[in-house]
C-alpha cells in the first residue's frame, strides 16, 4: 500500500505540472493503467531469463547511469584516503583513552589532592600542549581536506584534458586515413 501511496503522490505532482488528465472512455484510471501495464510486463517476461535478468538489474543500471555516481565514488575514495591518513593518530588517542579508563579509580583517590604545586604546573603545561596539538591537528585536517579538494580538481582537469587529447588523436587518425586513401587513389593508374 505504501508503494501505491507514493505512486499516487507522484501522479498528483505530475498532474499539477501537466494539468488535468482526460479520463479514457473505458473509465480506467492512471493507477489502473499502471497496474495493467505491470501485469502485462510480468507476463511478457515470464519464462524469458534474459529479460528477467535485465529487469532485475534495472536498479543497478539506474545507479550507474546517475550522473552523480562518479562524484559520489570519488568522494568515498577521498574519505577513505583521509581516514587512512588519520587512522594512526586516532588509534593512539583510543589507546590513551583506554589507559585513562583503567586509571580512573586511582585518579579519584585522596592522595592526588595533595599534589605539589610544581607537578600541577607541569600538568597545566601538558594540558596547554595538548590544546596546541589539538589545534595543530585541526589545521592539518583542514589542509588535508583542501589538498583532497585540489586533488579532485586536478584529476577532473586531467580527465578533461585527456578527453580533448583523445578527440584530437581521433581527428588526426581520420585525416591520416583520408590522406592515405587520397595517396592510394593518386598512385593507382586509371584502367582503360
Q: Which of 70, 82, 68, 69 is nearest to 149 (CA)?
A: 82
Task: Indicate if the pLDDT at residue 158 is higher than 70.
Answer: yes
> What is residue 146's three-state secondary structure?
helix
Least confident of 7-16, 18-27, 87-96, 109-118: 18-27
Task: Indicate if the pLDDT at residue 97 is higher than 60.
Answer: yes
Which three cell numbers mark 174? 581520420
pLDDT category at 121 given cuts 50, 70, 90 is confident
pLDDT recorded at residue 165 = 93
Percent of the chain with pLDDT over 70: 79
pLDDT recorded at residue 186 = 79
pLDDT recorded at residue 164 = 93
Contacts of 38 (CB under 8 A, 6+ apart): none
Task: Indicate if the pLDDT at residue 110 is higher than 70.
Answer: no
CA–chain centroid gap for 8, Å, is: 30
CB atoms within 10 A of CB 10: 10
To the question of pTM greater than 0.85 for the whole model, the response is: no
- Tell me if 41 sits within 8 A of 48, measured CB to CB: no
Burial readout 72-104 (b: 16 or more C-beta within 10 A, e: otherwise): eeeeeebeeeeeeeeeeeeeeeeeeeeeeeeee
Q: At what angle do helices 30-45 and 2-18 cross, to 10 degrees?
A: 120
Rounded Cα distance between 28 and 34, Å, is 10
Taking only the tens place, the pLDDT of each residue in 160-178 is 999 999 999 999 999 999 9
DSSP letter assigned to residue 112: G
pLDDT recorded at residue 7 = 77
Taking only the tens place, the pLDDT of each residue in 173-192 is 999 999 988 888 877 666 65
pLDDT recorded at residue 5 = 81
Amino acid at each position: 500500500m505504501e508503494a501505491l501511496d507514493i505512486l499516487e503522490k507522484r501522479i498528483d505532482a505530475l498532474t499539477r505540472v501537466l494539468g488535468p488528465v482526460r479520463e479514457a472512455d473505458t473509465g480506467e484510471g492512471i493507477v489502473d493503467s499502471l497496474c495493467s501495464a505491470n501485469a502485462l510486463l510480468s507476463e511478457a517476461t515470464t519464462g524469458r531469463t534474459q529479460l528477467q535478468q535485465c529487469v532485475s538489474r534495472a536498479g543497478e543500471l539506474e545507479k550507474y547511469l546517475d550522473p552523480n555516481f562518479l562524484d559520489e565514488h570519488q568522494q568515498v575514495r577521498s574519505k577513505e584516503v583521509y581516514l587512512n591518513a588519520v587512522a594512526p593518530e586516532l588509534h593512539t588517542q583510543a589507546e590513551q583513552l583506554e589507559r585513562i579508563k583503567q586509571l580512573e579509580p586511582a585518579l579519584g583517590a585522596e592522595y592526588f589532592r595533595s599534589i605539589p604545586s610544581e607537578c600541577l604546573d607541569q600538568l597545566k603545561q601538558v594540558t596547554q600542549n595538548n590544546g596546541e596539538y589539538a589545534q595543530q591537528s585541526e589545521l592539518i585536517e583542514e589542509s588535508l581536506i583542501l589538498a583532497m579538494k585540489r586533488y579532485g580538481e586536478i584529476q577532473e582537469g586531467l580527465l578533461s584534458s585527456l578527453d580533448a587529447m583523445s578527440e584530437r588523436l581521433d581527428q588526426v587518425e581520420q585525416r591520416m586515413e583520408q590522406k592515405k586513401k587520397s595517396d592510394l587513389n593518386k598512385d593507382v593508374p586509371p584502367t582503360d
